[in-house]
Amino acid sequence: MKFRMEHDSIGEIQVPADKMWGAQTQRSKENFVIGSELMPIELIHAFAVLKKAAAKVNYDLGTLSKDKMQAISRAATEISEGKWNEHFPLVVWQTGSGTQSNMNVNEVIAYRGNQLLKDDGSEELLHPNDDVNKSQSSNDTFPTAMHIAAVEVIQTLLLPELERLRTTFSNQEEEFKHIIKIGRTHLQDATPLTLGQEISGWKHMVVKSEEMIRESLVHVSELAIGGTAVGTGINAHAEFGDRVATEISGDTGYKFVSSSNKFHALTSHDQLVYAHGALKALAADLMKIANDVRWLASGPRSGIGEITIPANEPGSSIMPGKVNPTQSEALTMVAVQVMGNDTSIGFAASQGNFELNVFKPVIFYNFMQSVRLLSDSVRSFHDLCVAGIKPNVEKLSHHVSNSLMLVTALNPHIGYENAAKIAKQAHENGTTLKESALQSGLLTEEEFDRIVDPSKMIK
């Protein structure tokens, strides 16, 4: 392998000749050989968006030349488009402010930008700190990139998948609205409802989760940029933060604003805690939906069996013909992981000391993992399970006709205690509810048929 010499304030260090990063990236790569979890590439792409915006504002403010601004902008655009992903090798487990990843971006932009300047015949040279990081600090750029990336991944990865799931549930709500089934509470028989009504509950969980996630993004749209080292904005123009937020908004298509209090923005990550709380709420609902689906599809002969789901693969290495609810199982494992991530994020966010929180990389790594896992698992659950749900009408009808909880309809006519006696006698004697009711002498057959009508019990 060939090397070139790079230097920083510590001194000189060898860097692989075919890599665009510089001395500080190389030191981090050598000093933090911890785990295999790389800084999420979505964060790097968000950093590039930020660096491009910062260069434009610095040029507009007269502190950066046009040639340098254009070189930074072109290099940053290439990075945000994923052209140089292999030049961002740093792990999550580094400095808690993310300084080395900020410098990784600065160094790659400077290296690539200098190539572009040379190709254009310019004699100017970019410096990663003095030019690419002008008017910035890792302490305000890293949380800014976290927020940009969080908004973008939720908007582009997660929300579209939730919309597809919601639409399918809505269609099934309508399709199955006339199929009466027995309800269950406490895992015991309850009064009837329709399969469409049951699915409408699932749909509304998705609706509410979407609403809460979107609302949380209003808070995440506040950016720390302009605070620089400790929140005072030292070495940055007073308008820098607001102008950069405007540039980022135009570039991404999402509305961002510069935080009104940079001291808060650097040391607190309550906005990401709040947003991830909405993701945890989604995970809780998805756990419930996935569990309902696998319970309702249990069987095929010894379970509830009220719906069928697609048979995607053999379910056992020893039991021939067995098919398992694997999509539900995958989704519920994702829900557990998201809940664990929420604990990590909350604890990390509680560790802000004075003017800075130094748990930023682990906060974003877990946040990003949650969004990715939720997006992927919802897509898989929808495509390979939910879209193929079919009602088992015979089993649904059987459970309704044999349920003792239809007796609830008799309460207003014969009283709770008399209705309870009828239900208990039917259960103990193995008779139908109707037979027990007629034996009680409290109702005629015509009265029972008129009152205990499941179709009248679902409104």
∠ CA 206-208-210, nearest 5°, is: 70
User: Which of 77, 247, 224 shows the shortest CA–CA distance to 145?
Assistant: 224
Q: Are 446 and 438 in contact (CB under 8 A)?
A: no
User: Which of 132, 193, 106 shows the shortest CA–CA distance to 403?
Assistant: 193
**Contacts with 12 (C-beta within 8 Å, 6 or more apart), sequence order:** 5, 6, 23
Residue tagged active-site, from 186, 260, 302, 317: 186
Q: Would you call 316 a catalytic residue per the annotation?
A: yes
User: Checking DSSP bridges between strand 390-391 and strand 12-16, what pairing results, if any?
Assistant: unpaired
Q: Would you call 268 a catalytic residue per the annotation?
A: no
Q: CA-CA distance, 196 to 35, in Å (whole number)?
A: 47
Helices of type H across 41-158: 41-60, 66-80, 99-119, 138-153
Residue tagged active-site, from 7, 178, 316, 401: 316
Q: CA-CA distance, 145 to 80, in Å (whole number)?
A: 12
The dihedral of CA 186, 191, 193, 195: what is its sign? Answer: positive
**Contacts for 443-446: CB closer than 8 Å, 24+ residues apart:** 443/410, 443/413, 443/414
Catalytic residue IDs: 186, 316
